[in-house]
Chain A
Amino acid sequence: MLELSIDGQPLRVAQGTTVAAALTASGDHCSRTSVSGQRRAPLCGMGICQECRVTIDGLRRLACQTLCRDGMHVETRP
């Protein structure tokens, strides 16, 4: 198992889990807030739609194409 945090909340997931999958165990399951303030969650699951973009250790990454790593800090809110 790996341990990471999403919006400060600690979380344990299985090896090979994507950040998009880890989001389903987080607060509201969402990845970002849209320009008009709506919360959004992963849509296409394959790196096209950019809805799952999150901040991981300070860099913007796509949650669906990023594997969870030990000690990762994921942020979904601006």
Chain B
Amino acid sequence: MTRPVDLLIIGAGPAGMAAALAAAPSGISIVVLDDNPLPGGQIWRDGPNAQLPTVATEMRAQLQRYSNIHLHSGTKVVAIAGPKRLLLEDAERGWVLGYEKLILCTGARELLLPFPGWTLPGVTGAGGLQALIKSGVPVSGERIVIAGSGPLLLASAATAKKNGAEVVRIAEQAGRRAVSGFALGLWRWPNKAFQAVTLASGAYRLSAHVIEALGSDRLEAVRMQTGSRVEEIACDRLACGFSLVPNTELGSALGCEVRDRAIVVDEWQTTGLTDHYAAGECTGFGGSELALVEGKIAGLVAVGRQEEARAHWPERQRWQRFADRLNQAFTLDPALKTLATADTLVCRCEDVPYAELADHASWNSAKLNTRCGMGACQGRICATAAHTLFGWEPPRLRPPFSPARIATLACLDEPAA
């Protein structure tokens, strides 16, 4: 049996890379896992149409220079195989990996809310469209509507435009007062202010949201509400996301406390569980700068360099204030909870419509009676939406955490390798 790795980091986005680089000089053995083909997370996703910032390419190069850091891309955590042991799977094999310490950097996903027509091909998440474009989806000459909430809409619009699309509308659900209050405070974070200015666009509308996606086999148009006005906009794509929700499933399955949809950590980035840390978006949405500094602190603390970690607290506090303002400014309008109609599918895996869910009192009751959340995504989309729509607390995920091969599950009987 091979000895367990000293430090396992789940997620190779800004937090995971920063954690690995902060811990690496100690010489301990480090494994970084990520389910995407390349490191960088969602914000620094690489691909044929991606332009990575210098900090991202530099960090990737540094990761390669450390012989004690081993990166496993395209690898998912399938189950907990025992105390400090995880069952993993990549395209070729399944295996069990033991660890002494673990840092969760599992990031965040988009909050996707159901509305009529959201299952039509041509409708994606807002960050989803950006990710797809970077990975090679051609959008040149396409008319694109971007809707939902948060600065991600502008980032997605910028990527679409750069790749030749015509962004015909950006619909932000938050109102003028909230968003301009946020924009006025941006001078405190100069590089963010710059981002906001360069991303500004004439197609941007506030207090605006999608009502319905129209089309037969494919998206053809979007019906939008802007203030009290309703209009129909012809388009080839609709990219709609209502900001981000932390990926807390693995942390929760390990026994970490989750509060307000985020993994709870203290000032050392430690969870309530001994030798288990968390950093970045899985501890609450805050952007890549906050993720970087949290990752650095977690990496330093994991190798016993508390004093150096403490030196980064003021920087973390500064970006946390930015994150707090952001989350206040883009609070969701309750009207968005009523977009789905009786026959709108809420669970896209099992095709369960809104009407079948609405009469239930809890997620469990709805799940047992309708099969919602029992498909391949295990409720990551519909349980998250149902939390927003009905206030139902999402369940703790059961293994396998993602669809896995039988041969992988059989590894649970084998000693760790």
Contact = CB atoms under 8 A, between A and B. Distances in A.
A59 B407 CA distance: 12
Interface residues of B, number: 42
A17 B136 contact: yes
A66 B90 CA distance: 11
Contacts of B349: 35, 50
Contacts of B217: 28, 39
A73 interface: no
Contacts of A15: 48
A17 B135 contact: yes
Give the interface residue-count category, chain A. 35 or more
Interface string A40-51: 111111111111
B6 interface: no
A75 to B, nearest CB: 16
A27 B349 CA distance: 22
Contact of B123 (A43, A53, A61): A43
A53 B375 CA distance: 12
B124 A48 contact: no
Contacts of A60: 403
Contacts of A45: 124-125, 127-132, 135
Nearest to A14: B48
A51 B129 CA distance: 14
Query: For A15, A34, A35, A45, which residue has the most chain B Cβ atoms within 10 angstroms?
Result: A45
Interface string B344-388: 000011110000000000000000000000011100110000000
B327 interface: no
Interface stretch (B18-26, B35-43, B287-295, B305-313): B35-43
B151 interface: no
Given A16-B47, A35-B351, A40-B348, A64 B380 contact: no
Given A40-B119, A46-B109, A16 B136 contact: yes
A53 B376 contact: yes
A61 B349 CA distance: 15
Given A17-B136, A43-B124, A50 B375 contact: yes
Interface in B17-57: 35-37, 42, 46-48
Contacts of A49: 112, 348, 377, 380-381
B127 A46 contact: yes
B91 interface: yes
B272 interface: no
Nearest to A21: B136
A24 interface: yes
Given A40-B119, A44-B381, A48-B380, A18 B128 contact: no
Contact of B137 (A24, A48, A50, A67): A24
A65 B37 contact: yes
A43 B128 contact: yes
A16 B48 contact: yes
B175 interface: no
A47 B135 contact: no
A20 interface: yes
B132 A20 contact: yes
13 contacts: A16-B47, A17-B135, A18-B47, A21-B48, A28-B121, A34-B119, A34-B348, A41-B124, A43-B124, A45-B129, A46-B110, A51-B348, A64-B135
Given A45-B128, A46-B36, A50-B375, 7 more contacts: A13-B136, A16-B46, A18-B136, A40-B121, A49-B380, A50-B403, A66-B91
Interface of A: 13-18, 20-22, 24-25, 28-30, 34-36, 38-51, 53, 59-61, 64-67
